[in-house]
Copies of this chain bind each other. A is one copy, B any other.
């Protein structure tokens, strides 16, 4: 067991560091509104400089560690997170209002991600080694030997999300994939759950010590202020940023990073409408089952999933389907949202929906005590939705908007004007016209990162094939994913070595292939030595 008494301090280069009292804050229990002990300190420029310097030094020092050192560290972190035991689950519940089964599942996902990336690193082929050997006889000029691979970028700044205090938090997908690539990570903990962040940081510290790696490889800075975020993104030693959160915050960090003397990428995963289309035959063949499944997906985690289907496109006579859907939604009396701020945002956004002429409030969402909110359901028509930008806002929370489309053409027009989303789903009946189905898919696909057929987008698999990404504003880079093994590709750069002697090459590129990894040698994929 790892026992750690919360200190309210920052973890910098292996030590728990104090900072001035200005801006100190407490976590709030969203179920009760009560402040939780202890008080957490707000990091400033001193802490940012110290954490980034330690990260830069650790990045250099890590060159002396054996190849694949990341695997042992990630496994040790996974074990240490489990070793936090009930203390982690209890604190996460107090800070997030999420029920224990959800947190147990989320912890399993977090630990699973760590172990998956450890396996990716141990297997080793992720470095994408490509070798084109020399031909000294080539005319008119001899052909040099060129070998390339992926290398870590350097210190990565990670902003934890509010809605997954573990799986997208201090050692969530961003931190894990950045570490897996060999980068030091400096996390700004989400101020909604600073205690959860500190406990996880304590687990990481314990793992770093047991693995005997430079302690600057991981830092946790606590804070609420925009200034802290800005200091981190602007620090010259930062080479990349991972972010999960709102479109406004993500865009602000992206803009800041783009304006630096040396710009750095911000891989931000932000808001998403996640359109879902119910084709007519699907509605008639299994409308009740779809309505129930959909309601479950909309309300999962209090509707606070990035992949929540927020916009539901029905076609033609949808009375029966929408009634069943509304009835199922109505059964959920109230949810505890992650924090009062998110609750208020949801209330404002849905109040704005209700004000739009042409929008019908089917179920009115109502704020309760602390961060409580009852679900909402709104309806409109395709024309109104297309022309009203307010209706394209993501209502992050327990609610959805049904768009009644007269026919498939109206649905396709809506799909073409939907903003970039993480997901897009289509429910297809056996009686559907194949050509129509194809047209709907083609209209949807360019605007989403993941297409889901006859299912619901919430509940993201963590594997090799998953894409948790999508065109802006879902993310800032549709060429990447923040979930699954491909997430590691965000935090690397390409380096080639020309005519480099064996002893100077990284092991992954040496003739004898000491790591036994798959490589592309002269155009052929092989594990053989050269």
Q: Which positions in A face B, CB cutoff 8 Å?
A: 60, 63, 130-132, 141, 143-144, 146-148, 151, 153-154, 254-255, 258-259, 262-263, 265, 420, 428, 434, 437-438, 441-442, 445-446, 448-455, 459, 461, 463-467, 469, 471-473, 476-481, 486, 489-490, 492-501, 503-504, 518, 520, 523, 525
**Pair B523/A453 contact, Cβ less than 8 Å:** no
- Given contacts A153-B478, A434-B503, A501-B453, are A263 and B496 in contact (CB under 8 A)? no
* Interface SS, A side: mixed
The residue on B at minimum CB distance from A451 is B497
Instruction: Jot down 15 A-B pairs with beta carbons below 8 A, ordered by A.
Output: A132-B465, A144-B461, A146-B450, A153-B478, A255-B258, A262-B473, A263-B476, A428-B501, A445-B495, A450-B497, A451-B500, A455-B498, A469-B493, A480-B494, A525-B525
Contacts of A523 in B (CB 8 A): 464
Answer whether A465 and B148 are a contact pair too, CB < 8 Å, given A141-B459, A441-B504, A498-B452: yes
Q: In the complex where A258-B258, A464-B132, A525-B525 touch, is A455 in contact with B144 (Cβ < 8 A)?
A: yes
B132 contacts A437, C-beta separation under 8 Å: no
A448 to B453, CA, bound (A): 44
Residues in B with CB closer than 8 Å to A453 are: 497-501, 504
When A146-B461, A263-B476 are in contact, do A450 and B495 touch as well, CB less than 8 Å? yes
Q: Are A520 and B262 in contact (CB under 8 A)?
A: no
Q: In the complex, how many angstroms separate the beta carbon of A492 from the nearest chain B beta carbon?
A: 6
> Given A480-B494, A499-B454, are A467 and B504 neighbors across the interface (CB < 8 Å)?
no
Which one, B472, B479, B504, B518, contacts A494 given CB within 8 A? B479
Beyond A258-B255, A258-B258, is A496–B451 a contact (Cβ under 8 Å)?
yes
- Tell me the bound Cα distance from A148 to B498 in angstroms: 33
Taking a contact as CB atoms closer than 8 A, the residue among B434, B472, B490 that contacts A263 in the complex is: B472
Query: Once the chains are docked, how many angstroms separate the CA of A180 from the CA of B13?
Result: 46
- Given A131-B465, A146-B461, A438-B504 in contact, is the A496-B449 Cβ separation under 8 Å? yes
C-alpha spacing A27/B258, complex, angstroms: 35
Measured CA separation A301–B334 after assembly (Å): 72
Instruction: With CB as the reference atom, state the residue of chain B lying closest to A264.
Output: B472
**Given the complex of chains A and B, what is the CA–CA distance between A260 and B91 in angstroms?**
41
Docked CA distance A92–B520 (Å): 37
Structural contact, A132 and B461, CB atoms closer than 8 A: yes
* Shortest distance between the CB of A488 and any CB in chain B (Å): 11
Chain B hits for A500, CB < 8 A: 451, 453
Known: A441-B504, A478-B494, A503-B434. A465 touches B258 (CB 8 A): no
Given the complex, which residues of B lie within 8 Å of A497, measured CB to CB? 450-451, 453
